[in-house]
Every structure is written in C-alpha cells, then in structure tokens.
Structure 1
Amino acid sequence: MSISTETCIERKEIMKGHVLHVTVDKVSIDDGQGGAQTTSTREVVWHNGACAIVPVTDDGKIILVRQYRYAAALAMLEVPAGKIEHDGESPDLCAARELEEETGFKAGDMKFLGFVYTSPGFCNERIYLYLATNLQKGEQHLDEDEFMNLEYYTPEEVEDLIDSNEIVDAKTIANFHKAMKYLAKH
C-alpha cells in the first residue's frame, strides 16, 4: 500500500488570531496507486512554531517552570518555552529570548536537538528543542500576564516526575528525552 498525498483545492478562513490561524480546507487526495482522486475536508490550526529549552545549571540541575495553563486547567511543570514571534524569526533567537525571559538566564552554549510536531493530525505547530548549558545570570522579564515559578531538579528527579505524571507536557517530555544523552556528561 502506498502513502497518499493531499493538496488543498479550497480554503475557508475561520479565525485569524495573534497566536494561531484556523482554516477549513477541502483537499484532493491522491491514493498513491494511480486510482481515482477523492476529496475530503481538513480543519487545520496554523501556528508559527515555538522553541523549548532544557536549561542545565553548572551543578547539573534542570530548571523547570511551573505555570498555570488555562486550556488544561492545570498548573503544569514544563521546560521554558515560547512561541516564535513572527513568521521568519530564527528558532535560535527565539530560544535564547525565551530562556532569558522565563528563567533570567542566558546560555553560554545552546545545542539544537531537533524538533517535534505537537498534533500533526490538525496543527502544523513545530517546536524546536534545545539544550542550554554554561548558564550566566541575565534578567527575567515575564510578560505582564505571565506568572511562573522556577524549580530545579536532577535528571533522575525529572524522570520520576514524568513517570508519576507530575510532568505531562509533551514538549517537556520530548525535549528531556532528546537531551538525556548529554545530561550524563555534566
């Protein structure tokens, strides 16, 4: 069996916001086998993307932030992260900015670890993952509607928090997993 491809043939804009854009697209589906083309409808959330960072202190602690997430109705423990401000902004610049804004630290070394899609069944959001080391004190400057606590954990404690479902944020779990092979070297 071949993998099909889909091409947008009609788009209806539902909502254009500051963070995301929602469309309902009519798509043409090619079954990849030379068969008849079919059509279907796709509801899509478009997003500029984001960056997430595993910051590691000189003594090997991982800095996490605890903040309330309205959509989940829960205070969540997460890696520092934030959205790419505009189409075309470099993920590297976004990661450096968000690290300092949320934690008050700058990274002497920032290693790109790859990226993940949050929910590719309906959203194009891509989160770029980083590991930040050789941290130097900068200045925390949260947005006026942003409130969070900084918490410090060993890698083993983070693993336990994931296993016990204290950490349930997908970007945090993915980013921590990608950083694991580097954390033992600290």
Structure 2
Amino acid sequence: MSISVEKMIDRKEIMTGRVLHVTVDTVRINDSDITSTREAVWHHGASAILPLTDDGRIILVRQYRYAASQPMLEVPAGKIEMDGENPDICASRELEEEAGVTCDELISLGFVYTSPGFCDEKIYLYLARQLKQSKQHLDEDEFVNLERYTPKEMEQLILDGGIIDAKTIACFAKARPYLRGV
C-alpha cells in the first residue's frame, strides 16, 4: 500500500494552553470514504542551542523536568514565544536566559520534530560559538545548574544514559562536525 494523504474534515478543540493546543480531528484518507480519528498536539516550536566555549567545552543545563519526574542534563532551550517568532531570536534569548552567555556566531543546524506521531513541535537546533559572559535571566519558577563538558565527555554521557533528552542528543549529533575530540 502506498503512503496515504490525510485531510482534516472535522476538528474538536480539547484544550488551549500557554504552551500547546490539543485537538481531536477526523481525517479523510487518500480522498476515499475511509476516515479515521487523530489526536494532535499543536506547539509553536522551540530552539535548542549547543554553546561551545573557546576552550572547546560545552555548556549544559541541569534542571528538573516535571513530566519526566527527574532532573535532566540538556542543552539550553526554550519555546518560541509566539507563532511566527524567528527561531534565531528565540535561540539568542534562551542562550542568555539559561546559560548566561551571548554569542557572536550562531550556526543553524536544521531542525527536528519531537514526536511527529501526535505532535507538530519542531525544535530548531543551533551551535553557538565565540561566547561572551553575560547574566542568566531565569524565570521565577526556573532553577538550573550550569555544567561544562568536553565533547568526548558529552558523548560518553549520551552513551551511558547520563543524557537522555532527545533534543540534546540531536543537537550534539548535528554539531559533531564542528567539535574537536570526538
């Protein structure tokens, strides 16, 4: 059977929140009489940044993730504030907010979908170089610890399960051509 094309013919709004929007859609498959139901989460997207210091270390943040019920080691990242915000602007903002640095060079590494089976969230990936010390601007309810690792140490953390965050693993994989020592 060939790949199907699905067209939404009905939508039920379930929830609209600050971060996401949830619907239950009825879709028609391949312009046929076959219909199906799709639950979907709609998200404005996010930017994730791998900050590389001049001495070749990577700045990561460790923060508690409620949905996963545990602290996680991640690249700095954050949601695009409004539909249509430029992901580059989001990346620069989140780099300073979370890691307390700015950069002179922000390299786009493309993007990934987080869970395309039910969610349209797209995370734009970046490498930040030529960092300059600034100041963190954390939200009132945001608590993060900054940690620095060599690319080899980060690679080992990924292999050993010390880093289990998908956007961080994807960002590291896409940044590998720019990293020394891996």
Distance of 1:62 and 1:125 partners within structure 2 = 25
What SS does structure 2 have at the residue aligned with 1:13? strand
Shift of 1:184: 2.3
Partner amino acid, structure 1, of 2:15: M
**Per-residue Cα deviation, 1:50-99 (whole angstroms, up to 9, x for no partner):** 00000000000000000000000010000000000000100000000000
Partner amino acid, structure 1, of 2:26: K
**Per-residue Cα deviation, 1:7-57 (whole angstroms, up to 9, x for no partner):** 1000000000000000000000107xxxx4310000000000000000000
* CA RMSD after TM alignment: 1.1
Runs of 4+ in 1 over 2 A off after TM superposition: none
Distance of 1:156 and 1:162 partners within structure 2 = 10
Distance of 1:121 and 1:184 partners within structure 2 = 35
Distance of 2:42 and 2:128 partners within structure 1 = 28
Partner of 2:110: 114
Correspondent of 1:167 among 141, 163, 169: 163
Q: TM-score, normalised by structure 1?
A: 0.95
Distance of 2:75 and 2:2 partners within structure 1 = 38
Question: Percent same amino acid among aligned pairs?
Answer: 68
Partner amino acid, structure 2, of 1:66: R
Alignment of 1:90-169 (within 5 A): 90-169=86-165
Matched, 1:82 2:78: yes
Partner amino acid, structure 2, of 1:2: S
Distance of 1:130 and 1:5 partners within structure 2 = 32
Partner amino acid, structure 1, of 2:117: G
Distance of 2:34 and 2:124 partners within structure 1 = 34
Q: TM-score, normalised by structure 2?
A: 0.97
Shift of 1:111: 0.1
Matched, 1:28 2:24: no
